[in-house]
Copies of this chain bind each other. A is one copy, B any other.
Amino acid sequence: MNVLDLQQKLSLFDAKWTPKIIGALNGQEVKLAKLEGEFVWHSHADEDELFLVLEGELILRFRDREETLGVGQMLIVPRGVEHQPYAPKGASVLLFEPASTAHTGEVVDARTVTDPEWI
């Protein structure tokens, strides 16, 4: 039950597309991730996923449109909805999602992290 400082936690890593866990509650996890460039298209069959932008700008592409999120903006991607995170100039995000959520969803990619690290 400690105070977690988001900027301090972000300073602990620089790897892109490698979510780090900073908290757990009610079967959910709070993660931080740094993003740059395009990620894989994927969906999560059973998990809704929240993105909150802390630094930079994140484009969430969907099959029929895209949304751009700046600092202090969030979007919840419902389960089953295909999405592609894209951060042309880089972004840092906070994620809320069930502890079971794989960040590449059903897709296995070279960047898939199967066992995210706690920081």
Contacts and interface: CB of A to CB of B under 8 A. Distances in A.
B72 A5 contact: yes
A116 interface: no
Contacts of A76: 1, 23-25, 30
Interface size class of A (residues with CB under 8 A): 20 to 34
Interface stretch (A11-19, A33-41, A43-51, A107-115): A43-51
How many copies, total? 2
Looking at chain A's contact residues, is the secondary structure mostly helix, strand, loop, or mixed? Answer: strand
A75 B2 contact: yes
B3 A75 contact: yes
25 contacts: A1-B62, A1-B76, A1-B77, A2-B67, A3-B69, A3-B73, A4-B75, A5-B73, A6-B52, A6-B72, A23-B50, A23-B74, A23-B76, A24-B76, A25-B48, A25-B49, A25-B50, A25-B76, A25-B96, A25-B97, A26-B48, A26-B97, A30-B74, A30-B76, A30-B96
Interface of A: 1-7, 23-26, 28, 30, 47-50, 52, 62, 67-69, 72-78, 81, 96-98
Top 3 closest pairs, chain A to chain B, by CB:
A25-B48, A6-B72, A4-B74
